[in-house]
Every structure is written in structure tokens, then in C-alpha cells.
């Protein structure tokens, strides 16, 4: 019995690819991802508790602080403008929130969607919450909603073929645009000291 021949990687510039050739993944320069890659240590405590306790909202990507809930940008977004709406109260259970907190949660989800619509003009949204590790929660001990703007062309070949997600704008630039619209907030009272 003969051993199967091992395929060699294709050098694209030297010849055309054939259907049976193996093609190595191409490299896409995305220097902003190095922060995530190098950060091998897990942050102490809950980021949804520590970030709002700090005063530098721009550095922490916090767009708006309400009385019970705040809006923060996802540092490693699924798409440009990926926001999270988070209660200040550390809980994994929606039923643990007070009625005013649940009402403000909905008001800030609405503010997030309106602001993203005004600034980024998406064609749709994914809005939801993953409760528990099995459901996909990355931080399961502190509930939070995701608000992800979507466009017709945002699902393309790059994540499948290139194993790469392309984010076309720096987080700081997106923060500036969204914060300038969102800073006045919805018609709910703001948290004291925020």
C-alpha cells in the first residue's frame, strides 16, 4: 500500500491555483488586535464593575451613564459600533434587577439603537443577551445586552476564508461620534456622580 503524497503550499505569485491545491491563510494587517492577543492575563474582578468605577469614560469606552445602567462599547466588537448595555448592579439574573433598573435598561437599549441609526445608518440590528456559559455568555456573572448594528455586506468571505474579521474604524473614532450624539441621553434621570 502506497503512502499518499503530501501536498505542498501554493505560492500564488508563481503559478495559478488548481482546485486540489492547498492554500495557506493569507495575512491581514490588523495592529489593533495585538492588545487582545498579548493580554494573556485575566483582569481582576468583573470588568462590568471595575470599568464604571473608574473616571476615564473615553479610555474605558463608556458612552453614557444612567442611574442604574450604562452603555459601553465592546473593545473586541463583532462589528463597528457593537455596544453593550449593562446594569451597574452585579448580577447574572434579570429578575434580580429593580423595576426602575429594568425600565432604564430598555430606555438605554432604545438610546443605543437610535444613536447607532443616526450616526452609522445600519440596515438592521442584533440585540440580545446570553445568560449562562452554555448560551454563549463570555462574562456570565454580570448580565448585559449586546447591540450589534448590521449591514447587508457585513457578512462576507473574510471570517470564513481569511479567518479574519475586518473592523473598518478605530474604536476611539467611533466613541467620539457616538458619544457626541448620546451624551444627552434619553428622558430618564442620570446617575448622581456620573
In the block, cell 491563510 appears at: 25
Cell matching residue 86: 449593562
Cα dihedral 150→151→153→158 (10° resolution)? -30
User: Which helix (DSSP H) or strand (DSSP E) does residue 58 occupy?
Assistant: helix 57-60
Residue 147 near residue 159, CB atoms below 8 Å: no
**What are phi and psi for residue 87, nearest 5 degrees?**
-75, 150
Catalytic, 144? Answer: yes
Cα dihedral 82→87→91→93 (10° resolution)? -80
Catalytic choice (68, 82, 144, 146): 144
Q: What angle do CA 183, 116, 104 make, to 5 degrees?
A: 55
Rounded CA gap, 35 and 56, in Å? 19
Rounded CA gap, 95 and 40, in Å? 34
Residue 80 near residue 165, CB atoms below 8 Å: no
- Active-site positions read 144
Amino acid at each position: 500500500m502506497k503512502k499518499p503524497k503530501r501536498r505542498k503550499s501554493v505560492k500564488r505569485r508563481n503559478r495559478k491555483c488548481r482546485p486540489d491545491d492547498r492554500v495557506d491563510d493569507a495575512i491581514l494587517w490588523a495592529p489593533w488586535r495585538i492588545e487582545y492577543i498579548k493580554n494573556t492575563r485575566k483582569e481582576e474582578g468583573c470588568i462590568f464593575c471595575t470599568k464604571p468605577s473608574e473616571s476615564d469614560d473615553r479610555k474605558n469606552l463608556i458612552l453614557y451613564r444612567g442611574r442604574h445602567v450604562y452603555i459601553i462599547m465592546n473593545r473586541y466588537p463583532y462589528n463597528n459600533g457593537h455596544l453593550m448595555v449593562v446594569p451597574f448592579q452585579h448580577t447574572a439574573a434579570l429578575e434580580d434587577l429593580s423595576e426602575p433598573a429594568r425600565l432604564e435598561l430598555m430606555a438605554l437599549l432604545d438610546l443605543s439603537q437610535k444613536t447607532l441609526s443616526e450616526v452609522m445608518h445600519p440596515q438592521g440590528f442584533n440585540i440580545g443577551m446570553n445568560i449562562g456559559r452554555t448560551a454563549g455568555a463570555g462574562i456570565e456573572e454580570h448580565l448585559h445586552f449586546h447591540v450589534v448594528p448590521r449591514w447587508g455586506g457585513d457578512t462576507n468571505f473574510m471570517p470564513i476564508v481569511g479567518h479574519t474579521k475586518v473592523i473598518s474604524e478605530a474604536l476611539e473614532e467611533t466613541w467620539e461620534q457616538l458619544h457626541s450624539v448620546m451624551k444627552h441621553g434619553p428622558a430618564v434621570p442620570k446617575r448622581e456622580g456620573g
